[in-house]
A and B are shown apart, each in its own frame.
Chain A
Amino acid sequence: MMSLATSELTELLSDWKHGDPSALQKLTPMIYDELRRIAHRYASRERNGHTLQTTALVNEAYLRLAGGDSPDWQNRSHFFAVTAQIMRHILIDHARRRRFVKHGGEIQQVPLDEALSMTHERAAELVALNEALEELKTLDARKAEVVELRYFGGLSLTETAEALSVSLMTVRRDWRAAKAWLFRKIKNDS
């Protein structure tokens, strides 16, 4: 029965890779919930000033979800890529909502939890980055993908190269050009 679960994940990842949009909708809650669960566990013991190691988090999520099978590197690349996309959706969605929060009389009621949430500046930054990234995608889709994997998926250059089946050299060059392009774009727009 365990093989069912695994082939399910494998199938969804493969559907997603082949451009089936419904696969992403099925993968998202699955992966999001797993990431949340793991993040909560990390946070419960790392109270103050911690940062999450993205790679460790995603690795663990993959291991848990892929569970029944021996780790499959091809699968794992897809998993990382789809997770990067999901993280991007989540963060941008969050940032968009955050930006629209109204300032005013109620704000002093804000409990301590507010510190947990995103700052307005950060939200604006993410939304701007997202827009710039969309534009970059029309110019040079692979560079946009490299940024998504690196920035939202937390992948190293090597892992990004594996995920995209290109050389490390290519990723390195894509990364530096994309960074320069995005930096300029965001700076000029703001």
Chain B
Amino acid sequence: MTPERWQEVEVVLQAALDLPATERGALLAETCSEDPDLQREAMSLLQAHDEAGDFLEQSALEQDAQVLLSDDWIAAIAREIGPYKIIEQLGRGGMGEVYLARDQRLDRPVALKILPAYFVSDADRLRRFQIEARAASGLNHSNILTIYEVGESDGVHFIATEFIDGKTIRELIRAERLTLGELIEIAIQLVSGLSAAHAAGIVHRDIKPENVMRRHDGVVRILDFGIAKLVEAPASEMATEVGALLGTPAYVSPEQVRGQVVDERTDIWSCGVVLYEMLTEQRPFAGDTNADTIVAILERQPAPIFLSEGRSRALRLIQSIINKALHKDVSERYQTAAEMLDDLRSVKWQLEFDKKLIGAQTRVAEIPALVTAQISRSHQRWLAIASIAALAVMLLFVGFLFRRSILSRTDAPAHATRTYTQMSEAEQLGFVSEQEQRIAAMMGDRPVKLNDEALRAIKTQVDRYVAPPRPGGDSLPAIYGRAAPYVSVISKAFSARRIPVVIGIYLPIIESAYRPCYENSIGAKGLFQFLPQTAAQYGVARADMCDVNKMAPAAAHYIADRMAELGDDSQSMTLVLVSYNRGANSVLDALRMLRETDVNYERNFWTLFANRDKLDDTFRQESAYYVPAFFAAAIIGENPNTFELQMAPLSTQANGAVARP
């Protein structure tokens, strides 16, 4: 059939479908009297229409949800791909799934990497990858993973490589204390492999501890040559949260971050990072976010690896090798892997010499000389505990300050005599900055000096919040629009301090005006919906979804479950966004009842109400009441008055400590 013919058929078909079933035949007979073929075609489609029933009516995902859930479906069905029989899944990453498989022709184990469909759907990209991977498979070196085959079977693209029975450098860093000798041995093999690849004109581009393995017999193998290019993202993407999904930039060279053309010297940089990390268990360039990490890569010098009195010459040499590999200026770096290899070998000799001198093999961490810049692991753990404790204290503190600010406003700092909206822009920025630093300090973290960009971003959010409501009230989307940004602001503010936040967004549809929401979803665009199905799971029938008495406890349980998903919720923060007119207090009451059973709920739970009815002047005073100190802690610090907002944490309300203004 041609598109033109289909158009003709459709006109007749649609006209017939607009009529009652009994009149359709007659219409076809009449309109198609000169075209019996058209009549047959339309008739058969009419018949198909009648028979189709619920064909396609249930969405695919609802039937095939398990596809999203099954991690190891291939393994689960004893699958064969070409000559390879899958044995078990070894891992799953951005580049697809990796399986342990057996090559049935040669009866040997292989690691089978299966490329996800979305990487191979672009023929051009696939071709480039194959060229690269095949070039890499030509590399024959004892420190480079052997690629057996780059192939395709039944539409599944795969790479079969040697299976390595061993550990990645990442696992070694985590699990074991490497001796200095082991460290040098790994480094020599790593750089030696790179040197061979570079000689063949192949740059790895993604050297990191996950991509280097040590077999049980001590042989080091570099994995995934050529694959990095396939997934490589320009630096502009890596700077974003979204891009973060594509991998950490921690091992990436400055020129790679800038998106410039890279050569073998980018691998040398990455080696330097890996060496530094093996030695100190710290990354030389780290930040709370990828953007911070990138700034560190471009602008900061890594913390020096301090060498104290008992220093050995070997350690000093390593330090200088790492320094040279981590030169931001490529022309100052080692120009070839071979040069770096020479220096590493001299460390090995020095070490052997030292060893003869000292007598015993000394463990890295035991060498007194190596008092590195690292914060030891136990210290990190202590810091985490301390910051959680500090958080709890802070929350009490905020609550206290809030009460105090109500009771005694004269204590407020000088600039609080003016509200936020009355400040100049510079003052507002200064204010936000000051508060951010204060919060950071309160949370036991090192004081953070935010850069201008971050400050402005936060200020934008604050500005948006304090903007006066439009006359006549806001539409529902506008309310969500106003409330939603805080979700990410707060989440980011806390995640930057490594405190997990669960954000439940809860929109029970219990207002009569929005009753149709769950049917056509017009009212709850973009936000999570408390759908009839969810309601049913919490014991509320669809017909009862407008009954506050039934919905409130369901909502409370729902929120509590989301919190409990974190496991140990004593370390988490939960923010819940509630939007409806009636019943807010009922949910609060129900939550308080729940919280009595678990003290953590009291401490960590905050509610942000975007309450439709209150988005007028009353809201601006009363929302204060609802918008939590959580928000204050993140952005406003202890000065809600400055924002013409008064806010209390739920816990304070639960204690009955705050009277309504």
The answer, among A46, A73, A86, for a CB contact under 8 Å with B525, is A73
Interface check B418, CB cutoff 8 A: no
Name the residue on B nearest A88 (C-beta). B60
Q: Which residues of A contact B49 (CB under 8 A)?
A: 176, 179-180, 183
Assess the A39–B68 pair: CB atoms within 8 A.
yes
Dominant secondary structure of chain A at its interface with chain B = helix
B13 contacts A2, C-beta separation under 8 Å: no
Is the Cβ of A52 less than 8 Å from the Cβ of B65?
Answer: yes
Residues of B within 8 A of A18 (CB): none
The answer to whether A114 and B77 touch across the interface, beta carbons within 8 angstroms, is yes
- Beyond A71-B484, A152-B61, whether A113 also contacts B73 by CB under 8 A is yes
**In whole angstroms, what is the CA distance A2 to B453 when docked?**
10
> Nearest chain A CB to B121's CB is how many angstroms away?
7
Within the complex, the shortest CB–CB distance from B235 to chain A, in Å, comes to 12
A75 to B370, CA, bound (A): 53
Q: Provided the pairs A52-B62, A53-B533 are in contact, do residues A73 and B477 lie with their beta carbons within 8 angstroms?
A: yes
Q: How many A-B residue pairs have CB under 8 A?
A: 262
Of listed B6, B77, B485, B533, residue having the most chain A CB within 10 A: B77
Q: How large is the interface on B (under 10, 10 to 19, 20 to 34, 35 or more residues)?
A: 35 or more
Q: With A176-B17, A180-B48 in contact, do A67 and B531 touch (Cβ < 8 Å)?
A: no
Residues of A within 8 A of B121 (CB): 24-25, 89
Binary CB contact string for chain A from 85 to 102 against chain B (1 if under 8 A, 0 otherwise): 011111101101110111
Residues of A within 8 A of B64 (CB): 91, 94, 118, 122, 126
B527: chain A residues within 8 A (beta carbon): 59, 63, 71
Whole-angstrom CA separation of A104 from B212 in the bound complex: 38
- B79 surroundings in chain A (CB, below 8 A): 97, 101-102
Complex formed: what's the CA distance from A14 to B11 in Å? 34
Binds A, one of B134-142, B239-247, B327-335: B239-247
Q: How far is the CB of B620 from chain A (nearest CB, A)?
A: 19
Tell me if B549 counts as interface (CB < 8 A to partner A).
no
Given contacts A2-B492, A152-B60, whether A97 and B242 have CB atoms under 8 Å apart is no
Closest residue of chain A to B61 (Cβ to Cβ) is A54
Give the residues in chain A near B240, CB-CB below 8 Å. Answer: 4-5, 8
For A41, the chain B residues whose CB sits under 8 A away are 565
Whether A81 is near chain B, meaning CB under 8 Å from some CB there, is: no
User: B45 near A184 (CB under 8 angstroms)?
Assistant: yes
Contact A154 B59 (CB under 8 A): yes
Check A94/B67 contact, CB under 8 A, given A70-B484, A139-B3: yes
| Overall SS of chain B's interface | helix
B48 close to A1 (CB less than 8 A): no
Chain B residues numbered 457-504 whose CB sits less than 8 Å from any CB in chain A: 457, 460, 477, 480-482, 484-485, 487-489, 491-492
Q: Which residues of B contact A1 (CB under 8 A)?
A: 241, 289, 291, 453-454, 457, 492
> Is B63 interfacial (CB 8 A cutoff)?
yes
Given contacts A2-B489, A96-B155, contact A177 B14 (CB under 8 A): yes
The residue from A30, A89, A180 contacting B13, defined by CB atoms under 8 A apart? A180
Residues of B within 8 A of A98 (CB): 73, 77
Name the B residues within 8 Å of A40 (CB-CB). 68-69
Task: Find out whether the CB atom of B237 lies under 8 angstroms from the CB atom of A2.
Answer: no
What is the CB-to-nearest-CB distance from B100 to chain A, in angstroms, rounded to a whole number?
Answer: 15
Assuming the A-B contacts A32-B118, A70-B485, are A101 and B68 also in contact, with contact meaning beta carbons closer than 8 angstroms in the complex?
no
Q: Is A189 an interface residue (CB 8 A)?
A: no
The residue that A56 contacts in the complex, of B45, B242, B492, B529, with Cβ under 8 A, is B529
A-B contact pairs, 30 of them (CB 8 A): A1-B492, A21-B122, A25-B122, A29-B245, A36-B68, A54-B61, A56-B534, A59-B528, A63-B528, A67-B488, A67-B491, A70-B481, A71-B484, A71-B526, A76-B526, A90-B117, A91-B64, A97-B79, A101-B77, A111-B76, A116-B70, A140-B3, A150-B56, A150-B59, A152-B59, A158-B522, A176-B17, A176-B49, A182-B55, A183-B52
B interface, CB within 8 angstroms of A? 1-3, 6-7, 10, 13-14, 17, 44-49, 51-52, 55-56, 59-70, 72-74, 76-80, 85, 94, 116-119, 121-122, 125, 154-156, 233, 237, 239-243, 245-246, 289, 291, 453-454, 457, 460, 477, 480-482, 484-485, 487-489, 491-492, 505, 520-522, 524-529, 531, 533-534, 537, 561, 565
A interface list, Cβ under 8 A from B: 1-5, 8-9, 21-22, 24-26, 28-30, 32-33, 35-36, 39-41, 43-46, 50-57, 59-60, 62-63, 65-71, 73, 76, 86-91, 93-94, 96-98, 100-102, 106-107, 109-111, 113-114, 116-118, 122, 126, 138-140, 147, 150-154, 156, 158-159, 173, 176-177, 179-184, 187
By Cβ-Cβ distance, the 6 closest A-B pairs, closest first, are A70-B481, A71-B526, A180-B49, A184-B48, A106-B78, A154-B59
